[in-house]
Amino acid sequence: MTETVTGRIIKGVGGLYYIAACGCVYKCTARGILRKKRITPTIGDNVEISVQSQTEKKGTIESILPRRNSLLRPRVANIDCAVITFAAKSPNINYDLLDRFLVLAEFQKIENIIICINKSDLAAAEEVERIYSSAYKVVHTSAAENRGTEELKALLSGKVSVLAGPSGVGKSSLINRLIPDSARQTGEISRKIERGRHTTRQVELLEADENTYIVDSPGFTSLSLEFMSEDELVHCFREFEPYLNDCRFGDCRHLSEPDCGLKAHIGKEIPKERYESYVRLYNELKNGR
C-alpha cells in the first residue's frame, strides 16, 4: 500500500513540485486528474501526496486542500503574513501604493499585516509611524546595517510570509539577512531554469526554519484593485472598523452623508491621510478605472 502524507508546495520547476513534508522534501508530479479539473498546484498549497519511493523521496500530488487565500503576483497561496516593505528614502515612500498593498492584504484576509520600513539608516520615517502605527505593526529595518532584522525575524517565526513592495526598497537584501543561505536555496533552482528559458525569478518559499517560510516578490510600481467593488473597500481599512455602526444610515458610504459617525473620527483616531485614501480609491473603483 502506498503511503499518503500531507505537505506544502515550496517550489515548482517545469512540472515538478517540491513538497516539504515530515521534515523532508519530496519531488512530485501532479496527478493528471488535477490538470483535467484545471486546478494548478500553487506554491504554498497544502497537498496530499502518495509516496512512490521513500528512499528517493518521490511521489505524486493526489489532491490540493482548500486555500485560505491566494495572491496573483507573486502567485502563492495560504499566506499567513504580508510584510509590506518600503524604504525610508531612495526610493521615497509612495503612500498611495502602500495603501493599495494594505487593501489587497486585508481583502485577501491575510491574518498578519506588517509594514516594514527598510533603509532606516538613511531617514527616520516618522510620518509612517504617525499614520499607520495605531492599526499596524510598523518595523524599521536596515538590511545594510543589519538592524531591526531580528525583530522582523521574530515576527515571522512559524509563518509563511510574503515580502511585497516596490523594487529597490531592499526586499531581497532583507531576505538575505533573514535567511543567510537564501542565495544558495535560490541558486539551486535558478541553475536548473537557466538552461532553457530566461531567468524570470521563480516563486518559491524560502525556508528560514522548519515552519517559517518567506516569499520574495518582484517589485510593483502600481497595483490595480479592480477585482473588488467599492462597497468592499471600507472593510479593508482597519482603522474604520470600530466606527462603522455609528452612522445615521446603515448603508452610509462615509462620503457626504449627514451624521456620518465615521467622519467624526477623522483627524482623531482615523488619520486624515487614510480617509482621503479611502475616498480616492472608492471613486476609482466606482468609476471603474
Chain residues that interact with ligand GDP, rule: CB under 6 A? 118-119, 121-122, 142-144, 167-173, 219
| Cβ at position 215, least distance to ligand GDP in Å | 12
> Which entry of Zn ion, ligand GDP, Mg ion, none binds 16, CB below 5 to 8 A by partner kind?
none
46 vs 172, which CB is nearer to Mg ion? 172
| Cβ at position 195, least distance to ligand GDP in Å | 25
Contact status, residue 13 vs residue 35, Cβ threshold 8 Å: no
**Residue range at the interface with Zn ion (CB under 5 A); choices 83-91, 183-191, 239-247, 267-275:** 239-247
131 vs 169, which CB is nearer to ligand GDP? 169
Element of type H or E holding 166:
none
Identify the three-state secondary structure at position 58: strand
Size of the site for Mg ion (CB under 5 A): 2
> Which entry of ligand GDP, Mg ion, Zn ion, none binds 217, CB below 5 to 8 A by partner kind?
none
DSSP 178-242: HSTTHHHHHHHHHHHHHTSS--PPPPBPEEEETTEEEE--PPPS----TTS-HHHHGGG-GGGGG
What CA–CA distances, in Å, run from 20 to 9, 12, 24, 196? 6, 12, 6, 26
User: How would you class 92 by CB atoms within 10 Å of its CB: exposed for 0-12, middle for 13-18, buried for 19 or more?
Assistant: exposed
* Residues whose CB is less than 8 angstroms from the CB of residue 90 and which lie 6 or more positions away in sequence, other chains included: 119, 122, 168
68 vs 265, which CB is nearer to Zn ion? 265
| Cβ at position 216, least distance to Mg ion in Å | 6
| Cβ at position 136, least distance to ligand GDP in Å | 19
| Cβ at position 171, least distance to Mg ion in Å | 5
149 vs 172, which CB is nearer to Mg ion? 172
172 vs 186, which CB is nearer to Mg ion? 172
Question: Residue 75's beta-bridge partner residues?
Answer: none
Please select the residue that binds Mg ion; options are 118, 149, 172, 212, rule is CB under 5 A: 172
Contact status, residue 214 vs residue 174, Cβ threshold 8 Å: no
